[in-house]
Amino acid sequence: MIERATFHAGRYHLAQEQEMAVADRRERHEQTLKRFYAHSMDLVVEQGWQHPLFSEAPNVLQMGTATASTTKTFVDFVHDINSKAHITVADFSDYPLQQSQDEGLRCEPNVNFVRTDTTKLGFVDNTFDLIETDGLLQFLSPEQKTQAVAEWYRTLKPGGVVTTRDRFVSVNDAPKEWDTLNKIRKHFSQRFGVYSYPTTTEVMRYKFNAQGFSTLIENTQVIDPRMLLIHDIVAQKPKIIK
Prediction pTM value: 0.85
Q: Is residue 241 part of a domain?
A: no
Residue 213 pLDDT grade (very low, low, confident, very high; cuts 50, 70, 90):
very high
Residue 3: pLDDT band with limits 50, 70, 90? low
The CB-side HSE value for 145 (13 A sphere, CA atoms) comes to: 24
Q: Sorting pLDDT into bands at 50, 70 and 90, what band is 15?
A: very low
pLDDT of 219 reads 84
Query: Going by C-beta distance under 8 Å and a sequence separation of 6 or more, which residues neighbour residue 60?
Result: 52, 53, 78, 85, 86, 87, 88, 128, 129, 130, 131, 132
Cβ distance 177 to 146 under 8 Å? no
What is the residue range of 112's domain?
Answer: 2-236
pLDDT (0 to 100) of residue 129: 98
Mean pLDDT of the chain: 85
Per-residue confidence (pLDDT) for residue 226, from 0 to 100: 59
CATH code of the domain containing 91: 3.40.50.150
How many domains in the chain? 1
With a cut of 90, say whether residue 48 has pLDDT above it.
yes
- Look at residue 116 and tell me if it is in a domain: yes
CA distance 201 to 236: 17
Residue 13 has pLDDT above 90, yes or no: no
Query: Does residue 106 lie within any of the structural domains?
Result: yes
- Which of the two residues, 29 and 40, has the higher pLDDT score? 40
pLDDT reported for residue 116: 93
Q: Is 242 domain-assigned?
A: no
pLDDT digits (tens, 9 = 90+) for 187-211: 878 887 878 888 899 999 999 999 9
Find out whether 165 and 220 touch, Cβ atoms under 8 Å: yes
**C-alpha–C-alpha distance, residues 31 and 34, integer Å:** 5
